[in-house]
Structure formats: structure tokens, C-alpha cells
Amino acid sequence: MSGLFDLTGRVAVVTGANAGIGQAIAIALAGAGADIALVGRTPADETLAQIEALGRKGALISADLGTIGPVERIVSETLEKLGRLDFLINNAGIIRRADSVDFTEADWDAVIDTNLKSVFFLAQAAGRHMIRQGYGKIVNIASMLTFQGGIRVPSYTASKSGIGGLTKLLANEWSAKGVNVNAIAPGYIATANTTALRADAERNASILARIPAGRWGDASDLGGAAVFLCSRASDYVDGHILAVDGGWLAR
């Protein structure tokens, strides 16, 4: 059974890999045997060191996914530096908070461009390569707000709702071509994006009261789900949004 989860000889691209969820997923994939292309606006040196400590190869690829300009280069650099491309983890994302009556066009565009537009076009660039080789796995990072509305984050909610639909659409088009497309929906995870929520005593208490597990998630809680969705164990899993949420959606 353990062989089903062995990623030895595979190469993954992980965006937003310098910290938080992206870092945790990159390390988990390396722990299962994969080499990792670490994509981000800031160098993921700490993540790279941990990957190399596991005996795997890593490559740093500098790219700002606020535009789609780097997407083709990310694929070509991965192939050049690591020799292949099997998995794409679309993790990079940003958030802007304000009441909807005050939300600006600039904040709307910044979030949609990073969280949805670049996700599609990077999946497209990677998908073309994966379809040619007849194999690949794409994992998009969704959110609880893929299922719910949230408050004061209109562009983030729109982007993550879009991720859910996009994941299903790409699965419909590409599954028969050997490319699995799925998503992970993290629950409330203690990362930089949730600092404001955890610092608000009232909101923090209300969130914890609803989580059956009784705690905020840790980024490392996402690692096993990512390994599963990149492994042979998930070969017949397509268009699924896997919630890793401590039971939040079951409440």
C-alpha cells in the first residue's frame, strides 16, 4: 500500500512556496520522494533547505503571479532545471479585506488576477505539457469560501468560488487525457493570511467555537492531502474539492 503514495522520480511545481501552506505542501511532497520547483515573489530559501535535507532536489523560480507574464517561463524553467513536470500545486494567493460598500477596483483586480486568472493560465501552460506526456496532476488551493460567502472579502470569495468551478471544468476536459485536476479547501489555518482574524478576539473565539477539532489548523495538516492527490492512490479522483477543515463544513 505504501507504494501508492511514493512520488520518487516525479517533479512538482509549488507556487507561493516560501511560507505557510505552500511551504508545508512542498516539504510533504519532497518527503514522499518528489523534487520541487519553488515559485514565488520572494526566494523560498528556507523551504529549499528543508527539501534538500530530505535528500531531494529543489529549484528556485522567481515569479510574481500578479500577472500571467511568468507562466510559460515557470514551466520552461522547471523542465530545464529539474528535467520534467508531473504535478502543479496552484497555491499562491492574496487577500484584501474591506466592507463591500467600500471595496476598491484595485483590490478586486489584484486578488482576482493572482488567485484566479494566473491559476488558470498556469494550469493551462502546465496542462499542455502534461497532456502531451499523457500524465499529470494539478491541485488547486480552494477555501472554505469556495462553499460559503464569508464577510469583508468579496474578491477573495469570488476567486475561491471560481477555483471550485475551474477545478471541475478542467477535470471534465483533461481527465480522459491522463491529467487529474482536483482541489484542496483548507479550513481555518494559522498563516499570514489569517493573522487579522486570529488577532480579533471576538472573531477568533467564534471561529474556534465552530471547529469540531477545537483548534486552528496548521499548514502541515495540508501535506497528506497534497501527497494523496499527487499519488497513484488518487488516479480515479477527478474534479474533487477535498476539505481539510477540522470538521468546519460538517458543523
Distance of CA 100 to the CA centre of its chain: 26
- Residue located via cell numbers 480552494: 142
Contacts within 8 Å (CB) and 24+ apart, 216-219 = 216/188, 216/189, 216/190, 217/186, 217/187, 217/188, 217/189, 217/190, 217/244, 217/245, 217/246, 218/24, 218/189, 218/190, 219/20, 219/21, 219/23, 219/24, 219/189, 219/190, 219/191
Catalytic residue among 135, 156, 188, 236: 156
Is 236 among the catalytic positions? no
Quickly tell me which residue has 503571479 as its cell. Answer: 65
Q: Which residues contact 105 (CB under 8 A, 6 or more apart)?
A: none
C-alpha cell of residue 67: 500577472
Active site residues: 156
